[in-house]
Structures are given as C-alpha cells and as structure tokens.
Amino acid sequence: MQCPNGEQQTLGWFALVSYIPDPLARFLDDLRIELVPGCRPKAHVTALPPRPHHSDLKETIARIDDVLRTFPPFRVETGDMELFEVSNVVYLAIRQGAGRMHEIYESLNRGELAFKECFEYHPHITIAQDLPEGAARRVASLAKDRWASYLGPRGFDVSSLSFVQHVAPSIWMDVAALPLGQLTLPLR
C-alpha cells in the first residue's frame, strides 16, 4: 500500500487495514524494502481495499464502528509466500482469519463504501508490487527463501482496524482507530 509506482490513482482514497505487530511486521517491512527498494512499508492486511469516498467522513466512521463492534477480535495465521500471476504481486497468504476478513469486507462494501475492485477481494499481506516485467517470479522465489528462514511468530491477533487515507504519494494517514467489539473515537 505504500510503495512508489502506480499509486497516483488512489490519492485521496480511503482503506481499512489491520496493522501487523512486531516482530513479524519488522521482518515483513525489511523484506519488502529488500525486494522493492524505495518502498515505505507498514505491514498490514487490508480489510477494505482503497476506494473513493464522497460522504460525510464522521458518519462513515460511525457506520464502520457500528459494523466492527459486531465482530469479536480474531487470530490471523500466515501461510506461504505466493504470487498473483495476473498482477505480478508477491504476497504472504493468510491461512487462518481470511474468513473473518471476508465477513468484514462483505459487511462494509455497501452503501457509501461500496466499490467494485479490479480484482476479487482476497485477504493477504503484500510483499512486493509494481515489479518490472519479468521480475515477479524471481522476487517471489527470493521472498519464499527469506520466509522459510524466518523463525519468529507467523500470526497475530486482530483487535482493531485503522481507517486510512492516501494523502500523498507513498503516504497513508490514519484517520480513525476502530477496535473490534466496542465504540471508538476518531484520531486527532
């Protein structure tokens, strides 16, 4: 979500993400920087992919909060490094928790937040994107090797999601922290 190339199209758009805690986040961010130099990563799983938003922001945040309060915290366990062949995106699969992410997506992708994605929603952790033609398989292979040697935790608990806005190239700003299962207030 925060690597250079190809992201101009989403400036001003909003997304909903679950940030990944350290030490897993540190490993994934370092790997992403290694694979895509110039990247400014913040490891996350996207619950609602980037989309334009033209409604009242406070009302939208309140609606998201109402929906998220119906979902209890849950566990995400990662799987293998994989490659989306069509888009040449190297990603870390989600083997536990993807169903809950789908439920959240389906509950929120309606009304003022409805949006038709270019690709079907598939919860994952992006590792490398916007790769030069022909580099995806080589990068995916290197990512698999690095992942195989990682000895730290491969899962994390999701107890909150962050509503974020793409405010400048490579910069996403947190707009509101939204805990699962309870009320919240916008950041600031």
Residue spans per domain, the chain: 8-178
Query: How high is the pLDDT of residue 112?
Result: 87
Query: How high is the pLDDT of residue 142?
Result: 96
Does the structure show a pLDDT above 90 at 22? yes
- pTM for this entry: 0.88
Q: Are 104 and 186 in contact (CB under 8 A)?
A: no
Summarize pLDDT for 142-168 with one digit per residue, the tens: 999 999 999 999 999 999 999 999 988
Summarize pLDDT for 76-124 with one digit per residue, the tens: 999 999 999 888 999 999 999 999 999 999 999 998 899 998 889 999 9
pLDDT band at 3 (very low <50, low <70, confident <90, very high): very low
What is 8-178's CATH superfamily? Answer: Cyclic phosphodiesterase (3.90.1140.10)
